[in-house]
Chains A and B, each alone.
Chain A
Amino acid sequence: MTRDAGPLIHPFARPLSRVAIRHADSYQRDLAQIIYETLREFALPVQDKCVLLKPNLVALDERATINTHPAVIAAARESFLRLGARTVLVGDGPALDRDAEAIVESMRLREFLGPLLHTFVDLNVDALHPTPLRTRASSLKQLYLPATVLRADFVVSMPRLKTHHWAGVTLSMKNMFGIVPGSRYGWPKNILHWAGITRALLDINSTVRPDFAIVDGIIGMEGNGPIQGAPKPCGVLIFGDDPVAVDATSCRIMALAPERIEHLQRAGHLLGHLREDKITQIGESIPTVRTPFAVIPSFERLRLPPSSPS
């Protein structure tokens, strides 16, 4: 069982990518309308399809500052159903805590989505299939991956806009670590660290490339992310069908240089567009929403110079 992740295309042959930035200053706003209207602009092929929303669920989150906010997840689910999707599932495999139910209850996901039994999938304990990796950036060669991910017609990576103490940033590509199942690799999925975060990220994203990305940047996290950083209001949602371009744009909004983030820089060679001139911007412009995020000292080099044009 494998998933058609589409061809790997060199940047010079790849058409321009589109990324939409939408202003959303709070989780109380009508997010479903914003998301629905934006998704319509992308004319996504989701009619009668099974859509899997892959939020970033990391830890217990009673203050709703760590994980993708449940209001955004619920609004995305509603929007994809309005667009004609047959099923919209929500799935993740938290890396540090086996108790996925404790995490989703702590963030009140059930209050936003309704009963979760048939909607939420703990990818850590799903049925698994050995899946050859499409690239050989790491030494992994194959991974056991969840059937729910492999069977989904359309995978949407839904990270929160955060800095990360090991990878620099955690966005739609890093979020895909969550599809690697704990029941095979443990909690955390330490094999990925030993294989090299950057290399493993490339292999995972080349094999299960997200069809779309929605970044929850209404309130992000700066500093010592992904768990212990500080909340950072940014007031945006970022959308796109090229996860590399979405992550690059998200970095620029955080005033970080995507070219200096190793996994993005490498992904820009094969998986999507990193360069700003290859990305068609829809909605807000980057300078109007730019919000510099603090980083840990070892990542100070990631900062964009203050005079940077975008």
Chain B
Amino acid sequence: MPNHLPAGNDTPSTPADESFLHHVCVPFLLRSQNPDGGWAFHPENPSCVEPASWALLALNSISDYPQAHRAVQRGCDWLRAAQLPDGSWPSQPGLAEGSWVTASACLALRSQPDSAGAVARGIHWLCQQRPSEGRLWWRFLHWIQRSSAVVRHDLTLPGWSWTPGTSSWVEPTAVSLILLSGEAKDSGPPTMARRCRQATALLYDRMCPGGGWNSGNPIVYGVAGEPQPASTAWALLALQEHPERKEIQESLRWLADIYPRIAGPSSLALARICLRTCGRTLPPGPGFQQLHARNEFFRDVSVYAWVALSLVPLQPWLSWSALDRRQP
């Protein structure tokens, strides 16, 4: 369970932010809940785990909304029912295979009563999952082809993949690490601490030269990749343990520099969550009202949820436990 809030910069939102949260985000999230209790990426489509998880986290972080309380209860019921027998959650309804959304589902349920068992099973599944590039035959193949390798990062470090049987990437690794880092050291499977250490090492290894992260290819054919705000935000949120490290400082600086020029609402929201959590003063940037006026966020539930999360006080789901990943 979460132990403490991050020591971030909890700057109160502006009146415009407050208004946007209460008059646009929350009504949209409440309105777009499906009759079965879940949420889809777009209203009226079948419910999916990922948008439901972010919508639940957003609505759960808003106090004094009786409607939100009821919506969260229904949403949690739907999310628990969507769990697969092996403890994972599928990315799409009807699928019998778990995926990266297991981490976001656990984050959404972790603070809910009657969900401890579901979260424990989800964490157990995550700790069992290993990306395919860590397998022996694959490492051997890579070793043979090392002179012509297109990427230079350490392919032996296991993080988490989007789907089973594929490679580690920054976002699923970071979200899983955020989840596991919030668990008490003595809880969870025995492999949890090791997986956290490996995932931490992977994220540092995948940092773009000069700071920031993209989806997970920092250098391809010897050319440095461009970092992206959302991937950078996820990685920084997962690596709060060492705020003094040079890589963290460089990446935070990159994110703060790019912040005023971020053109997409989801990237802006995640950057905002990250900078606040990491104790940075928010640079002047585009307002959500202004971004919303363009395309209504394409009516994407997960975008409304991330924007809402960026406008509420600091997040319990981002809290850290005393889990020490530095031990060998």
**What residues of chain A have their CB less than 8 Å away from a CB belonging to chain B?**
59-60, 96-103, 105-106, 110, 115-117, 120, 122, 125-128, 130, 144, 165-166, 183-188, 190-191, 193-194, 224, 227-228, 296, 298
Contact = CB atoms under 8 A, between A and B. Distances in A.
Most central of B40, B162, B262, B266 by chain A CB within 10 Å: B162
Contact of A190 (B92, B148, B162): B162
B264 interface: yes
B223 A228 contact: yes
5 contacts: A99-B228, A110-B294, A117-B298, A126-B45, A190-B166
B172 A101 contact: no
Given A186-B163, A187-B171, A101 B298 contact: yes
A70 B228 CA distance: 22
A128 B260 CA distance: 35
Nearest to A125: B41
A126 B165 CA distance: 24
Contacts of B94: 130
Nearest to B296: A117
A128 B48 CA distance: 11
A204 B266 CA distance: 29
A194 B92 contact: no
Contacts of B266: 98-99, 101-102
Interface in B18-54: 40-42, 45-46, 48, 50
Contacts of A110: 294-295
A78 B262 CA distance: 30
Contact of B169 (A59, A60, A190): A190
A190 B163 contact: yes
A285 B309 CA distance: 56
A168 to B, nearest CB: 13
Given A116-B295, A165-B150, A128 B92 contact: yes
B50 A183 contact: yes
B300 interface: yes
Nearest to B50: A183
B162 A187 contact: yes
Most central of A103, A105, A116, A165 by chain B CB within 10 Å: A105
B129 interface: no
A122 B264 CA distance: 13
Nearest to B90: A184
B62 to A, nearest CB: 23
A125 B92 CA distance: 11
B49 to A, nearest CB: 10
Given A101-B266, A185-B162, 20 more contacts: A60-B228, A99-B228, A101-B264, A101-B297, A102-B264, A105-B294, A110-B295, A116-B298, A117-B296, A117-B298, A120-B298, A125-B42, A127-B42, A183-B50, A183-B91, A184-B91, A186-B166, A191-B162, A193-B167, A228-B223
B264 A99 contact: yes
B148 A186 contact: no
B262 A102 contact: yes
Interface stretch (B6-14, B116-124, B180-188, B214-222): B214-222
A105 B162 contact: no
A292 to B, nearest CB: 20
A298 B145 CA distance: 13
Interface string B70-109: 0000000000000000000001101000011000000000
B5 interface: no
Interface string B253-269: 00000000011111100
B226 interface: yes
A166 B42 CA distance: 33
Nearest to A297: B221
Contact of A97 (B91, B150, B215): B215
* 10 residue pairs, one from A and one from B, having the closest CB atoms: A186-B162, A102-B264, A99-B264, A125-B41, A190-B166, A127-B45, A105-B263, A102-B263, A101-B264, A99-B267
